[in-house]
């Protein structure tokens, strides 16, 4: 599937239609990776009807997805055209990925061979792709992962309880603001 306006629009429409019926359970987040790095770039989402596996959905659209990733991240990925790796995670799991949740594991997809036409049996209407789009100034979402698709860094855990500062913390705060004009401190923050 070539990266042409007709294919891009059709696969986006297919994605929306499939997701409208099946919800996020029929979608997967797609990440592109230069095999020489540990950086995985979020490049979009795929959707497929229930009897088409995620691997088949990606294989059927592999050239389209790869080209989209290259155009999205030309500085990082263009030199690896033809060698990029595509990985997938559960649909709508970007927040869990950002927090390095160990329950979210990336899975690689083998680049389809031109000689193995099994993936061609999947009809284009059975799969869809919604490519990531950056707004002006956005850096794009990326994550660091190990070779097995697990997070490289520890899970980020937000504190769940709110508490008053301890006496020691209050003493430190008092020391920091001692002799300073509080009105001026607040005015400088605005």
pLDDT at residue 159 in the model = 72
User: 132-171 pLDDT, tens per residue?
Assistant: 999 988 899 999 999 999 999 999 987 777 788 889 988 9
Q: How confident is the model at residue 175 (pLDDT cuts 50, 70, 90)?
A: confident
What contacts 30, CB < 8 A, 6 or more positions away?
A: 42, 43, 44, 45, 46, 58, 65, 86, 87, 88, 129
Task: Report pLDDT for 40.
Answer: 98
Averaged pLDDT score across all residues of the chain: 92
Cross-strand bridge partners of residue 9: none
pLDDT in tens, 60-72: 999 999 999 999 9
Amino acid 178: pLDDT:
83
Give me the pLDDT at residue 185, please. 65
Domain ranges of the chain: 5-144
Give 173-190 as a DSSP string.
HHHHHTT--HHHHHHHH-
Tokens of 100: 């390095």
**Structure confidence by residue, pLDDT tens digits, 34-82:** 999 999 999 999 999 999 999 999 999 999 999 999 999 999 999 999 9
pLDDT of residue 92: 96
Residue 169 is predicted with a pLDDT of 87
User: What pLDDT, on the 0 to 100 scale, is given for residue 70?
Assistant: 97
The predicted pLDDT at position 152 comes to 96
DSSP bridge pairs for 48: 127
């Amino acid at each position: 599937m070539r990266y042409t306006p007709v294919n891009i629009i059709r696969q986006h429409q297919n994605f929306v239609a499939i997701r409208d019926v099946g919800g996020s359970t029929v979608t997967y987040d797609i990440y592109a990776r230069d095999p020489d790095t540990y950086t995985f770039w979020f490049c979009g989402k795929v959707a497929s009807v229930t009897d088409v596996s995620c691997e088949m959905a990606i294989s059927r659209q592999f050239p389209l997805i790869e080209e989209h990733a290259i155009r999205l991240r030309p500085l990082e990925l263009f030199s690896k055209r033809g060698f990029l790796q595509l990985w997938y995670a559960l649909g709508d799991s970007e927040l869990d990925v950002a927090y390095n949740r160990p329950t979210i594991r990336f899975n690689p997809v083998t680049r389809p061979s031109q000689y193995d036409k099994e993936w061609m049996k999947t009809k284009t209407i059975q799969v869809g792709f919604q490519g990531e789009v950056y707004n002006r100034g956005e850096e794009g979402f990326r994550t660091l992962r190990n070779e097995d698709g697990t997070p490289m860094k520890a899970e980020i855990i937000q504190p769940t309880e709110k508490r008053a500062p301890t006496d020691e913390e209050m003493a430190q705060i008092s020391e920091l603001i001692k002799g300073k004009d509080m009105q001026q401190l607040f005015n400088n923050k605005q």
